[in-house]
Structure 1
């Protein structure tokens, strides 16, 4: 199989970085991207500003690949998603040339001549990767290894509090969006009522964008529905966050609530979405209803698409749907303050030899992924594929603490007096522009 490529699924930040590492190690990559250009998912949230600075958003092997062509890395500031693509990811994809294939959606991965049940000589067979293009044409290719960096962006969680679409949610689809609003395109929200559902970084950013729209468009109303009571970690880590712009993000949302620009509804778990006179009415599990909304922005997280891996032998955590050894380090039910360790090839390996889930997909449903985490993952995975097990086992990254309380503690109550799981409540962050995630988005 040495003459076969290593297939990388997804031409996002981690997929392209994996290709750069493979080339550096003398292995041939083939990156398969379902979109029509590099980092197609990032481009869909291009107006959102990341809370990671430029030096944290550029992979080392990618830098080494690009610099001989005269490219120079941006060194300061916090890019938007569009800037991340234009100034780094698109040049990286161009440098990889025809090793990146677009309009190539992976519909299945298996072993040549072996379904999931067959043990005999399984690891000696190449992977078969089944593809579908936009016109529905099917094809198949073979690979020596598969790195799945397909992310979770196209699998947003529903508004329904039990993890399933709320009653009426599908019928109300035209009134719902899982995209962060863009103040440069205010038409859908200006002078109207918007309900935001969710309590993470994407929701913080949505609140900021909507309040900016409200400042210049009278009559704009914003309701923010979260599932828990207000506690020390509701608005993020503030000054306790070692990524200061991430800390500032939540504090801006807090200020919007304190000022009255946003109505915060707590303990609201959506059970039903009724469509009435062209508007959406959210009904909680306790029978409460929210005022009719022109748009509902559902930002309740993401989940991985495992459907095309159905013939692969996987060892995933039953809660997070992440590789089991990774899940032990990132489970928000355990890690109350977001202290997450770097993960490498040994943590990401599956019972299916030479198959690795990396990037956002490796975190399953957990919300704490950073771009830096993914770059360390692909460095380690590629070293393992190249047979450099010493380098694969080495940890070359120390991650910052989020300072954000997660799921530990009582689900239905705020953290205990005195700050609960994170100690005293975070101080107000200094004023500054709201920034967001390098994870896509809730990301980086």
Structure 2
């Protein structure tokens, strides 16, 4: 507890250099806009920097995916109050499961257009660095009383903005994990770059022609992979020449198949459908497969080179023997396309001059990491938490939302909403309220990597 008490100091409000400056929020996604709404309710001015051209740009990139969380868990309370004053009508059925595009069009875009927020969002504005005015991370004198400076790439050039505090809610969608098990880029990625696709392609829509009649390898053991596998199987129903292979590093896909006790029925159903497709042989599962490289094969396709741990090598001179349940023993998988559904990681480069306290493994705030350890918690058993565990050695700097989970798996939006509610109370000087946290989340027995409630398929 002493570490908590040391890090969680009330914000300084009496330094004239901070007077009149807004709180800077990075990201106009669900959590970033919720942070802005919470702060506006407390009379604190904000400025929001969004790299995309509209609110929820990252969500729009997977707008064809249906979330597995109903509306009732997707709407922040302070945001709803802003919207209601502007004449917004909440979805009639709060138990319905929206598509990603529904979340954007029916909630995020109207929220960004409210009078309280509309003039405070800077679109097409990418924060490339955060520091303190006139001091790098090594200087300490009056650090808490010195304004932050955010360097931002905009349509009109690179500009510096000042702020009294910073909330980084930029998410992780723009920084996916790579294919190679070591975490490094493949040595020969340039040879096959056009055949390596990011997570959650629109298999049945805009990208249909690209996948039709092709052999696709989906890499990853999360809900993003599950969605793509199901869509590819649907495509194969209409286009029988379409074939699907699924590669995971784990010995079992249990985390994807899920739990019968999952209170989010759509999430449990997702796993059950993938399990059935594997058992029927519609999807060929390659487990315990660690990828070392991808390169151009002799026939002009993609050779995914790796090691099948614990199973030895395939027989020389013949096809890899097929095992029960659709599993095969291989060292190299040759396909037409590869979908990288391997999860995401936080982009920490812009924060190099900020004093962070991050867990060495998960890259989440150090005090949060034990609460989200996927070996101990599912996304439904992560306890309510706020400013106490999100505080860094850098005064008045916070990472919230999906980025706060670092490399940990599935994140629910409701968790992020409570995070920024607590941060807003802290910045408003409501010390006790900031530490009174409560959150009810749907229970699940299993959480998987790669999915998010705000950035892919698991909201």
Matches within 5 A, 1:195-344: 195-230=217-252, 232-237=254-259, 239-276=260-297, 277-286=299-308, 288-335=330-377, 339-344=381-386
How many angstroms does 1:64 deviate by?
A: 0.2
Matches within 5 A, 1:356-435: 356-404=398-446
**CA–CA distance in structure 2, aligned partners of residues 170 and 2 of structure 1:** 50
Report if aligned partners of 2:380, 2:441 keep a CA contact under 8 Å in 1.
no
SS at match of 1:296: strand
Residue in structure 2 matching 1:129, options 150, 164, 185: 150
How many angstroms does 1:231 deviate by?
A: 6.0
How many angstroms does 1:43 deviate by?
A: 0.6
How many angstroms does 1:402 deviate by?
A: 2.3
Tell me the residue number matched to 2:38. Answer: 21
| More displaced 10-residue stretch of structure 1: 267-276 or 170-179 | 170-179
Residue in structure 2 matching 1:67, options 66, 84, 87: 84
How many angstroms does 1:170 deviate by?
A: 4.3
Tell me the residue number matched to 2:49. Answer: 32
Residue in structure 2 matching 1:55, options 69, 72, 83: 72
Q: Structure 1: state its 5+ residue gaps.
A: 408-435
Matches within 5 A, 1:34-113: 34-74=51-91, 75-95=94-114, 96-113=117-134
Report if aligned partners of 1:367, 1:443 keep a CA contact under 8 Å in 2.
no
Matched, 1:151 2:176: no
Q: Deviations over 1:78-117 (max 9, x none)?
A: 1111110000000000111111110111011111111111
How many angstroms does 1:334 deviate by?
A: 4.0
How many angstroms does 1:336 deviate by?
A: 7.3
Tell me the residue number matched to 2:393. Answer: 351
**CA–CA distance in structure 1, aligned partners of residues 378 and 99 of structure 2:** 29
**CA–CA distance in structure 2, aligned partners of residues 102 and 169 of structure 1:** 32
What's the RMSD between the two structures over aligned residues?
Answer: 1.7
Structure 1 length-normalised TM: 0.90
Report if aligned partners of 1:332, 1:366 keep a CA contact under 8 Å in 2.
yes
Report if aligned partners of 2:129, 2:350 keep a CA contact under 8 Å in 1.
yes
How many angstroms does 1:384 deviate by?
A: 0.5
**CA–CA distance in structure 2, aligned partners of residues 334 and 199 of structure 1:** 18
How many angstroms does 1:280 deviate by?
A: 0.8
Aligned residues: 414
Matched, 1:140 2:160: yes
